[in-house]
Structure 1
Amino acid sequence: MAVFDTYTQGTPNWVELVTPDQRGAAEFYGALFGWQMVENPLDDGHVYIVGSLQGDAVAGITFQLPELAGHPAFWNVFLAADDVDAVAARVGPAGGVVEAEPFDFFDFGRTARIQDPTGARVGLWQPRSTQTVRANEPGTPIWNELLTPDIGRASQFYSDVLGVSADTHPVPWATVPTYTTFSSAGRQVAGVAPVADGALEEAPPHWNVYFNVVDADESVAQAEALGAKLIVPAYDLEGTGRMATLTDPHGALFCLMAG
């Protein structure tokens, strides 16, 4: 069991699905991960769905704004900010863009939407009542990873804005000799991997969320039976575990990791 009360700045502390079909998505992820779904009525007539395990919040499922009509669903990753306004003020001078200025998301927390200098979008989250309480166990987020064409530039940006440190480690993988991680308060909190220039049209810079499962192959089969599409078949990554990449029935990309 892994329960978290607080997160140091720069640590992913919330993930949120933006989808045109909240209840359909709730059925899919509820069946796949065993989440219990709580619908929270909002002042604007919508609901905000929180997926939980054993009463502990894991992730959010929100509605799609009208301007995103026709856009595939997608997972947002949020990084902890001690003071969203202060962090957002550092984004522009560091070379990024504040796409959504800091605002209160009802009583859940204060947030902002930013884009780093390499094009990856990510949220800032200063929680009030809601954050990922349960993580790093089956059915919960276990890892978050930035895919970027310029690891050095991205690393400098997140260091300047959020104070994380970037470290490069040798890895036993055949595809790449090293892997970069972000650390906050001495703890590794996210990974950074390259996305090749030629792949940018199909996979622009973005943040991925990995959900832990007991058996990657069984979870892939279950997800496909529920309507998901397999993008990267399950494979073993030495020293890390077995993982796969899928899209949910409405197009949102997510990753599974066992081990």
Structure 2
Amino acid sequence: MPEVTAPYQPGTPCWVDLAAPDQQAAIDFYSQVFGWTGEIGPAETGGYAVCQLNGKPVAGIMAAVPMGGQPAPPTVWTTYLAAADADATSQAVTKAGGTILMPVMDVMTLGRMAIVADPTGAVCGLWQPVDFPGAGIVNEPGALIWNELNTTDPSAAGAFYQAALGIENAPMEGAEHYYALTVDGRPVGGMQPMSEQMPADTPSHWLPYFSVTDTDATVEKVTAAGGAALQQPFDMMAGRMAVVTDSQGATFAVIKPKPMNQG
């Protein structure tokens, strides 16, 4: 069901956001590609834009600017994992060998967040919801459908996420070297070793997938809006997908999923 009506279970990807040097250009790009609506937010939220699809929050876009003496964040999509207690989860992250990049902080009355890195270097957010649970629509064209960890060490990463967030992993049937990430037995994402097709200096990372009705047509929209295809559309077990960058270089994947009853 595309509309999210129940709280996200801890460990489940619940939100994604983008840091972009030109925030308005990023909003315009995703509006053109996915039909999102959004505008730069008020100063008290740092201008953070909560983009919507069909009237529901779908993703965030913020300006990539230096904050608190720190350099501007890279132009990337960040996956947030739900946490029942951000402070306790941060402690578990450290104990399991991860790194705290941004300590737990309150986001007004919306929730509590932190930014962490796993032992292989992949960065993700933690989100403890208060007034804002996360994405209000998923698994629908234009919305988030999958989050994938590409890592230099699946064994170390898998052990970390299980210890820190209770995310279990197991080889995915029919997909060589691919692991399903599960929470309470339900698949919430995937994990695979870094592809040899990626540049040698590519760090471990979480990659968001957005659902589309036509992968090829979406890639055409991406390139028309100033983006590029890193991996042209191809068929795989879950559907027809492509890996692309937006007009400012942030990487994401798009997929037209196979109907569930067709395997």
Do Structure 1 and Structure 2 share a fold, with TM-score over 0.5?
A: yes
**Residue 249 of structure 1: aligned partner:** 247
Aligned pair count reads 252
Equivalent pair of 1:42/1:106 in contact (CA under 8 Å):
no
**Residue 50 of structure 2: aligned partner:** 50
Cα distance in 1 for residues equivalent to 2:91 and 2:192: 26
The aligned amino acid for 1:101 is P
> How far off its partner does 1:251 sit?
0.8
**Residue 93 of structure 1: aligned partner:** 95
* Secondary structure of the structure 1 residue equivalent to 2:218: helix
The one of 127, 130, 134 equivalent to 1:128 is: 130
> How far off its partner does 1:3 sit?
1.2
The aligned amino acid for 2:110 is F
Please, what is the CA RMSD of the aligned residues?
1.8
Q: TM-score, normalised by structure 1?
A: 0.92
Superposed CA offset, 1:72-122 (max 9, x none): 521011000011001001111111111111001233321011111111111
Equivalent pair of 1:72/1:250 in contact (CA under 8 Å):
no
Superposed CA offset, 1:146-190 (max 9, x none): 00121111111000001111111231x5xxx24201111221001
Cα distance in 2 for residues equivalent to 1:96 and 1:142: 26
Superposed CA offset, 1:197-245 (max 9, x none): 89563321000000000000000001100100111111111x2101111
Cα distance in 2 for residues equivalent to 1:72 and 1:87: 24
> How far off its partner does 1:128 sit?
2.5
Cα distance in 2 for residues equivalent to 1:118 and 1:61: 26
Cα distance in 1 for residues equivalent to 2:124 and 2:74: 17
Q: Does 1:145 align with 2:144?
A: no
Superposed CA offset, 1:18-66 (max 9, x none): 011111110110111111114431326x311111112110000011122
The aligned amino acid for 1:118 is T
Q: TM-score, normalised by structure 2?
A: 0.90
Gaps of 5+ in 2: 258-263
Cα distance in 1 for residues equivalent to 2:3 and 2:155: 32
Cα distance in 1 for residues equivalent to 2:141 and 2:197: 34
Q: Does 1:160 align with 2:158?
A: no
Which runs of structure 2 are paired with 1:31-70 in the superposition (5 Å)?
A: 31-43=32-44, 46-66=46-66, 67-69=70-72
Compare the two structures and name the one with the higher strand fraction. Answer: 1
* Secondary structure of the structure 2 residue equivalent to 1:223: helix
Cα distance in 2 for residues equivalent to 1:74 and 1:257: 19
Cα distance in 2 for residues equivalent to 1:247 and 1:79: 23
**Residue 102 of structure 1: aligned partner:** 104
> How far off its partner does 1:133 sit?
0.8
Cα distance in 2 for residues equivalent to 1:108 and 1:230: 35
Percent same amino acid at aligned positions?
Answer: 38
Cα distance in 1 for residues equivalent to 2:31 and 2:77: 16
**Residue 261 of structure 2: aligned partner:** none
Gaps of 5+ in 1: none
**Residue 3 of structure 1: aligned partner:** 3
Equivalent pair of 2:49/2:61 in contact (CA under 8 Å):
yes
The aligned amino acid for 1:134 is I
Equivalent pair of 2:177/2:192 in contact (CA under 8 Å):
no
